[in-house]
Homo-oligomer: A and B are copies of this chain.
């Protein structure tokens, strides 16, 4: 394991949600005095989420996601605050979750669609709600702020949907600066969940396997994927999911990279798998189609010049980079 080993090991892959250089301060989450001093800092900032959607300030220079704690209160008193970490200069950044009632559904005809309905904060035309996917697709925030928002969204989704103790049903109490919930009745402790998902490109010589989920944009083919299950290795999950969805058997599996995927709280584990069979048997449920693509065709899809206008996944997704890594050898 020399320089070359490491050089090849970790790839700088510019997909969304993967950049986050906050100091998470995880060892200080049980220190009330430290937390109190941190919260009192005038440079403390917060990201706001409501109904799973980021709330952003409209500015001349673009969208601004960083609110002072007083600005948060002026929007709505949050039902939940969690410490995400600190910037390099020590300024803390929090996630603030607003009650669903802080926003309202409103008709928006600004883009010509009369029946389009958007979420908005009443009386605050200086604010806008934009979903995480659009933020990443359109590059509305820096890579770093997009990554920090992914952390905020996964954590706040968990709080929003885990207010009760799964063990006994009682209402739980927040602890550890927002990173634990505790049950005072049965004493159970609950931690934010992250669901491992395997996402992979099966390859056979100069061909790779891509599939279409019914919900995909028209003409888009992508890598297969699925949740890793109890008692399963990453490699076994990769082989099982490929076989279930396409009927193709695989042998060796190689890990390439991982991506936080906040819909709502997954960890995408990206792999390349060596196919040992070719015949396809598409399940018709998870996938509506799957095909073997020669390398040249996959390259044309990545470069947006496929003769039949077939599309590769967007570069915000790890699937794009698995495909690109294979196409480029």
Q: What's the interface size class on A, roughly?
A: 35 or more
Q: A230 at the A/B interface (Cβ < 8 Å)?
A: yes
Q: For the complex, is A279 an interface residue (Cβ under 8 Å from B)?
A: no
A163 contacts across to B, CB distance below 8 A: 166-167
Interchain CB contact under 8 A, A20 and B232: yes
On whether the beta carbons of B267 and A24 are closer than 8 Å, the reply is no
Q: Is A70 an interface residue (CB 8 A)?
A: no
Given contacts A168-B164, A272-B1, contact A229 B194 (CB under 8 A): yes
Beta-carbon contacts of A223-235 to B below 8 Å, as 1s and 0s? 0000111111111
Contact of A259 among B26, B158, B233 (CB under 8 A): B233
B231 near A152: Cβ-Cβ < 8 Å: yes
List 20 A-B residue pairs with CB atoms under 8 Å apart, sorted by A's residue number: A1-B203, A6-B274, A9-B252, A20-B232, A20-B236, A26-B244, A147-B231, A148-B231, A150-B231, A155-B231, A163-B167, A164-B167, A164-B168, A164-B169, A191-B195, A196-B196, A196-B267, A230-B260, A231-B260, A232-B267
**What 4 A-B pairs have minimum CB-CB distances, sorted nearest first?**
A151-B231, A9-B254, A169-B169, A164-B169
